[in-house]
């Protein structure tokens, strides 16, 4: 398995100083920037769209990891690709044709991710692994930062790690929601290699210490 990567979620940043916040986490050792896109329909909250991603793109060299919580997602994939996304992940429930959506993301030259809600079974991935670069396990119900980690998702992470290993494919395994200094080691032990953290990074006084701690290096 590759080294642990930390992807701070912008949702927990100071929205009045976003450029500055992105530069600060990059300097503090963040690997990816996680961007949560919420439409007030697929999830009960509204965040931001491709315009903000485009504006932030020139402030950072980090891979932009875009988590779409919108339905439908297909009409917006090109806009997020053009805005500067590197990874675009969507939920199978966001449209009728997951396979086609992943093909579209790949055709746009981006890495394609599938996000599993807490109630979504791993089996939905069985026939799309060849189109999948990243699997994201939601360890909270999507829509809000600052929720408590659902430990019942740990066996799902372990099952996905086995599925990825058996496939022999290069697929990142990401966890999102309630990842803290306490829960990160459990995610890593279960087989995750990319940790999303909003509150645990942007709520910390020292971003570098928080990122190193999540990675297991402090």
Please name the helix (run of DSSP H) or strand (run of DSSP E) that holds residue 83, with its range, or none.
helix 77-83
Q: Indicate the SS3 state at residue 81.
A: helix
Quote the CA–CA distance of 163 and 198 in Å, as a whole number. Answer: 27
Is 12 a binding residue for ligand DX5 by CB under 6 A? The answer is yes
In the region spanning residues 30 to 69, those forming contacts with ligand DX5, defined by CB under 6 A, are 34, 36, 67
Active site residue 133: no
Binder of residue 197, out of ligand DX5, Zn ion, none (CB less than 5 to 8 A by kind): ligand DX5
Q: Please report how close the Cβ of residue 24 comes to ligand DX5 at its closest, in angstroms.
A: 17
Scan for tokens 């690997």, then name that residue: 31
**DSSP states of 138-192 as a string?**
ESS-TT-SSPPP-GGGHHHHHHHHHHHHHHT---EEEEESS--TTTHHHHHHHT-
In the region spanning residues 162 to 181, those forming contacts with ligand DX5, defined by CB under 6 A, are 176-179
- Name the catalytic one among 31, 36, 39, 133: 36
Question: Quick one: what does residue 95 bind among ligand DX5, Zn ion, none, with the CB cut-off 5 to 8 Å set by partner type?
Answer: none
145 is in an annotated binding site: yes
CB of 206 to Zn ion, least distance (A): 23
Could you say whether residue 101 binds ligand DX5 (CB under 6 A)?
A: no
Query: One of 31, 39, 65, 176 is an active-site residue; which one?
Result: 176
Point out the residues that are catalytic. Answer: 36, 176
Residues found near ligand DX5 in the complex (CB under 6 A): 9, 11-12, 34, 36, 67, 140, 142-143, 145-147, 176-179, 196-200
């Amino acid at each position: 398995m590759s080294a642990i990567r930390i992807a701070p979620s912008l949702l927990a940043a100071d929205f009045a100083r976003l450029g500055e916040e992105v530069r600060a986490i990059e300097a503090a050792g963040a690997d990816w920037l996680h961007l949560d896109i919420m439409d007030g329909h697929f999830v009960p909250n509204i965040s931001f769209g491709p315009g903000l991603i485009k504006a932030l793109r020139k402030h950072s060299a980090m891979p932009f990891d875009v988590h779409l919580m919108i339905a439908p997602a297909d009409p917006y994939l090109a806009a997020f690709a053009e805005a500067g996304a590197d990874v675009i992940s969507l939920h199978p429930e966001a449209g009728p044709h997951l396979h086609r959506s992943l093909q579209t993301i790949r055709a746009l030259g981006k890495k394609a991710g599938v996000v599993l809600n807490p109630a979504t079974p791993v089996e939905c991935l069985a026939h799309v692994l060849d189109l999948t670069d990243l699997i994201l396990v939601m360890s909270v119900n999507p829509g809000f930062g600052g929720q408590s980690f659902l430990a019942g998702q740990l066996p799902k992470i372990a099952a996905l790690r086995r599925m990825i290993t058996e496939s022999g494919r290069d697929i990142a395994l990401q966890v999102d929601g309630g990842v803290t200094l306490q829960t990160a080691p459990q995610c890593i032990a279960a087989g995750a290699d990319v940790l999303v953290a909003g509150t645990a990074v942007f709520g910390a006084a020292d971003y570098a210490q928080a990122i190193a701690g999540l990675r297991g290096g402090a």
